Chain A
Amino acid sequence: MKLLVRLIHDSKPIIAQVVRDTGVLINVDRARSDAHEGEEALVDVPDESCMLVSERMRSLGAEVSILEEGIRHDEDECVDCGACISVCPKEVFSFDDDWKLQVMTKRCILCGRCIQSCPHAALSLNN
């Protein structure tokens, strides 16, 4: 399960602390730091520990939203062109033997790059 973690105020390294407190291994997919908006990180946690981790993060002052698994792909709009394939940094997209687009959402870090590259508005974020 992916969690989007937002830290508004100057803060301690809460991810390390949450790992220590809960014993759950957290994978940081990406992190961004911005002087105005604070810090934002996209993390991957095992499904069964999702609640535990997000509760602990919230108690440490973070805003946590639970995202569904990766980019959403609308099969009706998709024409299997492949324009998305080369722009994705995580190789989420590929063709199968019949030139049909395959989407490995598990790999997605929700960077959003592919959304604009799709000419058919077939890719979107879940929330």
Chain B
Amino acid sequence: MEKSIDEINRRICDGSARVVTADEMPDIVSELGEEGALREVDVVTTGTFGAMCSSGSFLNFGHAEPPIKMERIWLNDVEAYGGLAAVDTYIGATNKSVTQMESYGGAHVIEDFITGKSIELRAQSSGSDCYPRRSITTEIRLEDLNQAIMVNPRNAYQRYDAAVNTSDDTMFTYMGTLLPHCGNVTFSGAGTLNPICNDPNLRLIGSGIPILLGGAQGMVVGEGTQHSSAGNFGTLMTTADMSDMTSDFLRAAYMYRYGPTLYLGVGVPIPVLDLEVVRKTAVRDEELMVSIKDYGVPSRSRPVLRQVSYKELKSGMIELNGEEVRTSSLSSYRRAKLVASTLKRWIEEGQMTLCLPTRPIDPSKQAKPMRETRKVVLVQEIMLRRVVTIKEDQDITEAAKKLLRGETNHLPVLDEQGRLTGVVTTFDVAKAVARPERKVKVLDVMTRNVITTRVDEPIDIAAQKMEHHRISALPVVDAQNQCIAILHASDLGKLFKSGGNKP
């Protein structure tokens, strides 16, 4: 038995279509069998609600008097793209405000627009004969715009790898707060409700099909950026009119020390045309696997600790290296259900009919990493090989003398074998002097928990370490933990001077 899309649309129009949400489908199929489910169910609605950083909107402001061709544009001090004609722009969700705290960004501008707030538009131009005006400042609301069309290059990730942190420090990432020593696991995605998880071969999800986006009726444009369906990481490019969106399905967010992002609800209805659709939409959380990746390793290829199913992740607790670790979702399953049930209601009430894709999305595509033609600058290129060190059992006054010579404010401390065991800074010495009654040897005042780098570490990673720990130098160690050089934050500036070949 098969059903045609026209048959399903006829039922939607006369109000007799049977619509279910994707989380209900597995049990329906278990109960009625595949054939039975195909007869019974006409549409399965999916939904997800989570951080979708790669989102934004095209806006058209209408012409000013005298007219301006806007070249640099700010909306509530968040810069928008100025490379389009005259009074068009694109505001991206993750751009940070140039004046306010970094917790306000493009996503907040978008949310403020849809909740009816007034936004300050500022623009500059170099002027031309046809567009003489050089600058403009005005207050605008969503209703003042000619168009506000959200077009998101990458939404609705099929699934997303979970995150953990094996390092000694708390990390603040786009995957949220990651506690040290695998203290927690974070993940994203709605599992069984996720749109592409219910059509992994992209038979019915493609260009032109209707969707819910931010609470508005929108559509899939086509393949999303970084779409990598071959590895189960498909994505969609989506669009809808901002005027129809609501804050139930669109929320600006701020990931601490990462930046602004946009939480969006996206839902795709899937017409139940044949047995293949029934089988795919019967998918359960336990069949949807992702990797748990170690964000403690600052590399594109982060080590995988284990595979895990959405069922385990959603349970709130998983096992990792023999220990129970608590999990946190970053996306909202409650809102994902609200997306799927809203779509269901729209279709039941005949407000939305379905169609087949006008152009398919390639299900076998694999995303490539960036081609890099210039080599990354490594620590060895700017580290200082002539490093002044001190021994553990030396007197603190010796340390003070060495520091006073002014070549450094960080003295790596070595043991008898020349291995790095600590660091003494000017601050440590000052503290020791302030309490002369105790603590006289270097051993007593040094900082033992030393953050280090290696000769072959990319300089940007070493710089991030210094910034994260608020320190100004890193001892460079070899495999035997011998201190062979030192990297000073002040030397990072060298990179930008020599001119030409370096970034």
Contact = CB atoms under 8 A, between A and B. Distances in A.
Interface of A: 79-87, 94-95, 98-100, 113, 116-117, 119-121
Contacts, number: 76
A87 B334 contact: no
Q: What is the predominant secondary structure among interface residues of chain A facing chain B?
A: loop
Given A79-B335, A116-B177, A87 B328 contact: yes
A83 B337 contact: no
B179 interface: yes
A28 to B, nearest CB: 23
A100 B179 CA distance: 24
A84 B332 contact: no
B487 interface: no
A117 B186 CA distance: 11
Interface in B298-334: 316, 325-334
User: When A and B form their complex, which 7 residue pairs have the shortest distance between CB atoms, in order from nearest?
Assistant: A86-B184, A119-B253, A86-B328, A99-B334, A86-B326, A117-B177, A116-B256
Contact of B254 (A81, A82, A95, A119): A119
A81 B186 contact: no
Contacts of B255: 119
Given A86-B328, A120-B253, 9 more contacts: A80-B333, A81-B50, A82-B328, A83-B176, A85-B329, A87-B184, A99-B333, A99-B334, A119-B261
Nearest to A85: B328
Contacts of A86: 179, 183-186, 325-328
Nearest to A35: B431
A87 B251 CA distance: 22
B253 A117 contact: no
B330 A85 contact: no
9 contacts: A81-B263, A82-B333, A83-B177, A84-B328, A85-B326, A86-B184, A86-B326, A87-B177, A120-B263
Nearest to A100: B334
B172 interface: yes
B74 interface: no
A100 B253 CA distance: 19
B177 A82 contact: no
B295 interface: no
A15 to B, nearest CB: 27
A79 B251 contact: yes
A86 B320 CA distance: 14
A71 to B, nearest CB: 15
A64 to B, nearest CB: 30
Interface centre among B172, B327, B329 (most CB of A within 10 A): B329
Nearest to B325: A86
Given A79-B335, A81-B332, A116-B172, A87 B256 contact: no
B51 interface: yes
Given A85-B328, A98-B334, A117 B263 contact: no
